[in-house]
A and B are shown apart, each in its own frame.
Chain A
Amino acid sequence: MIRKELVAASAEPLILSLLAKGESYGYAIIQEVKARSGGKLQWTDGMLYPVLHRMEQRGLLKSRWGQSETGRKRKYYSLKKDGKTAMAKHHEQWSLIHSVLAGLQKEQYV
């Protein structure tokens, strides 16, 4: 299981990257993260909504109320321009961390 600090830190870049593919809603975002991480990245579901609302307040996301196929109300989120910029920055920073880690790991095996 991934440490909760890392889970919290990765929430924003993951949400931004998922929404870059198209608008989505809370439950679907959580399910996709679970599926893509093979269940290793577990969010407490209730944690996601404050994060989404905070990102919306910061102008990274916008939202609209819609309906599911069964008529249930759903709040759909999508990226705003600032969200795309933030996502690019996250990718750059996480890639840097990844490359440093990978480089260090490689040196240990030499």
Chain B
Amino acid sequence: MFDLAQSIAEWRRQMLAAGVKTPVPLEELEGHLREEIERQMRAGMDAAFAFDAAVRQIGEPPFIKTEFTKLQRQANIKTMRKMLVGVAALAVVFAVGLAGLFVWAQWPVLARQPTRFTIAVSGQSGLPFTGVIKVDASAMSVSGVAPTNYVVIGRAVDCRFQKQQADGVLGVCLRMNYLNGTDSVTSSKSGRGVGASMSLHNGSCYSF
């Protein structure tokens, strides 16, 4: 005795075994199968013949699977292309960003424009010092007590500071445009002073 429900269940099992996925497209295909069976039966065909005809009409499971595999392959290629484009775009953005950052940081050097230098005289609080700050071609004498900061604009800076008493340690740190800085240096206790020089291209610190 033909059992339509059991035959449809067996058809589903074969579809799943062939790799046709559920719910999509298997639910859609099953709906189609059932509508075709009903149409055939309304036309006077018995259930067994209607089922066989509908199954033939819809296609064998391996055929269906092959068609959907092609579709999946195309979707995968499309996804991979999108990912590649995304990675390439990210790489370009990263490279442009990096180049921008470099140009921004090095702009004074690249453009050879006067830039801001910060001279930080540090050391024992209240230690008196005198010094000379040379900015490009002009020099000025300064005096004060540590700690003190000087801000100058130019292309090259050279500065020397000398402590006014034997005891105490004096230090200097010279920075350009907040980014490039010389290493700070401190005088030895018995030393007389510290100096630093920096241009748009290089810098150095020394003690004497």
Contacts and interface: CB of A to CB of B under 8 A. Distances in A.
Interface of A: 25-27, 44-47, 49-50, 53-54, 57, 68, 72-75
Do most interface residues of chain A lie in helix, strand or loop, or is the interface mixed? helix
Contacts of A53: 24-25, 68, 71
Contact of A44 (B25, B63, B75): B63
A75 B74 CA distance: 22
B52 interface: no
Interface residues of B, number: 22
B27 A73 contact: yes
Contacts of A46: 29, 58-59, 63-64, 67
A72 B193 CA distance: 94
Nearest to A28: B35
B159 to A, nearest CB: 67
A28 B74 CA distance: 27
Among A45, A72, A74: residue with most chain B CB under 10 A: A45
B57 interface: yes
Contact of B70 (A26, A45, A50, A74): A50
B116 interface: no
13 contacts: A25-B31, A27-B31, A27-B32, A27-B36, A44-B59, A44-B63, A45-B36, A46-B63, A49-B25, A50-B25, A54-B71, A57-B71, A72-B35
Contacts of B68: 49-50, 53
Contacts of B12: none
Interface string B7-44: 00000000000000000110111011011100000000
Nearest to A72: B31
B31 A47 contact: no
B44 to A, nearest CB: 18
B146 to A, nearest CB: 71
A25 B28 CA distance: 9
Given A27-B36, A50-B71, A75 B28 contact: yes
